[in-house]
Amino acid sequence: MSKVNIAWEGNMKFVGTDDSGFKIPMDASEVYGGKNEGVRPMELMLMSLGGCTGIELGHILNKMRVVYDRLDIEVTGNRVEEHPKVFSNIHVVYRLSGENIPADKVNKALQMAEQVYCSASNMVKKSAEITYAIEINGTAHSYEA
Amino acid sequence: MSKVNIAWEGNMKFVGTDDSGFKIPMDASEVYGGKNEGVRPMELMLMSLGGCTGIELGHILNKMRVVYDRLDIEVTGNRVEEHPKVFSNIHVVYRLSGENIPADKVNKALQMAEQVYCSASNMVKKSAEITYAIEINGTAHSYEA
């Protein structure tokens, strides 16, 4: 069982706390009446998706003995215009850099990560279309699911 | 468009950054090979759900002129045993305290929050069963969706 607690801190600010005590401030934007004193909850969902797939991707690449120096992930989401303003589509780009990174192995590792191991991607894809892309040392490699 | 960036910081640690510069550390548990230097990504999803519904709930209660001193939200999720270990069901409890908080108005506000305005609940419910409960000054009030 996973559990988090979230406490209201006035106006539209909430602070989430996990079992280890990590604190995550959440707030609405000023346009919406918040004070921007924390992350938007919907951006947390994008971080959940990027972090979950990233952890699994790295774990699988380690097992494949694929070594990299950097891994940066960019997650962008487009929302529908009417309430509830759910994400209609989300794009995730994995940017790796390092020597001798085989694109085919990264593609295979990402398949396993996003389709088999990552819980977030397998939940979010039930409501939003998720597309993925891989860049290695600045060169794009189309991802084949 | 919403956008976040996530940078790998070695081993299984990633740090997410939103457009305002808020940084969210994410890491796997030690059992899984991480160092527990951040929140689990799946717990971020629970925070997204609790924070999103909480912000909307508070916003609607304000419009209803319902005043409260505290609002604490507890989110628990049960995951399936096989990969991908998605949440099968999630329970969210809203604990309000204060004088003269009408349970029927809180119920109505939560209906509007979780069904109409909150994007996270409307996405997550496509893959997990979400149940809600309300407590006012320590007394449980069954939530009628």
Task: Give this complex's ipTM.
Answer: 0.97
Helices (H), chain A: 41-63, 103-111, 119-124
> Quick one: closest CA in B to A55, which residue?
B12
Smallest Cα distance from A62 to chain B, Å: 10
**Mean pLDDT, all residues of chain B:** 98
What would the pLDDT profile of A83-125 be if each residue is shown by its tens digit?
A: 999 999 999 999 999 999 999 999 999 999 999 999 999 999 9
What percent of chain A is modeled with pLDDT above 90? 100
Q: Are A97 and A52 in contact (CB under 8 A)?
A: no
Nearest to A142 by CA among A116, A108, A113, A107: A107
Rg of chain B (C-alpha set): 17
Asked if B120 reaches chain A (Cβ–Cβ under 8 Å), the answer is yes
The sign of the torsion formed by the CA atoms of B41, B47, B48, B49 equals: positive
Q: What is the pLDDT averaged over residues B106-117?
A: 98
- The string of DSSP codes covering A32-50 is GT----SB-HHHHHHHHHH
Per-residue tokens: A120: 């977030």
The sign of the torsion formed by the CA atoms of B27, B30, B36, B41 equals: positive
Asked if A65 reaches chain B (Cβ–Cβ under 8 Å), the answer is no
List CB contacts (< 8 A) between B46 and chain A: 2-4
C-alpha A94/C-alpha B103 separation (Å) is 47
Residue A37, pLDDT score: 98
Asked if A88 reaches chain B (Cβ–Cβ under 8 Å), the answer is no
C-alpha B64/C-alpha A17 separation (Å) is 28
Cβ-nearest to B75 among A6, A70, A74: A6
The sign of the torsion formed by the CA atoms of B19, B25, B28, B29 equals: negative
Q: What is the pLDDT averaged over residues B52-76?
A: 98
Nearest to A24 by CA among A47, A1, A56, A55: A47
Smallest Cα distance from B131 to chain A, Å: 14
Report the predicted TM-score, pTM, of the whole model to 2 decimal places. 0.98
